[in-house]
Amino acid sequence: QVFAKLHLNLEIEPKQFRDWHSKKNELMLARPRVRRMNAGSRPKYPELEVELNNWVCALRAELKVVTCYMVQVKAKNLAQKQRFLSLYPDISTFQ
């Protein structure tokens, strides 16, 4: 019943949920101060990443294919816009 509520909101596979639930203590002991495992590093250019994410979501909403190369090219094009150049002066070295 609890899984049904979570599954509707998060679209988690039942097996994945069971695995997490069975390993909960082990996971909490691994990193006790961290609520989210493997949070990763923060983006260097957050505004650029937000716009890039919106672009990818818009293409996927139209059922278009998005490749890694397309994302790289779009990121480079966005980095050349004046708005991002003024926000992030070091973005001119963006590769």
Q: Is 48 exposed, middle or buried (0-12, 13-18, 19+ CB in 10 A)?
A: buried
**What ranges do the domains of the chain cover?**
1-40, 46-93
Q: What is the pLDDT of residues 19-49, one digit of tens each?
A: 888 888 887 777 766 666 565 678 888 899 9
Instruction: Indicate if the pLDDT at residue 1 is higher than 50.
Output: no
CA–CA gap between residue 60 and residue 18 (Å, rounded): 30
Could you tell me the two tokens for 58?
């818009």
Instruction: Indicate if the pLDDT at residue 65 is higher than 90.
Output: yes
CA atoms within 13 A on the CB side of 52: 22
Instruction: Indicate if the pLDDT at residue 67 is higher than 60.
Output: yes
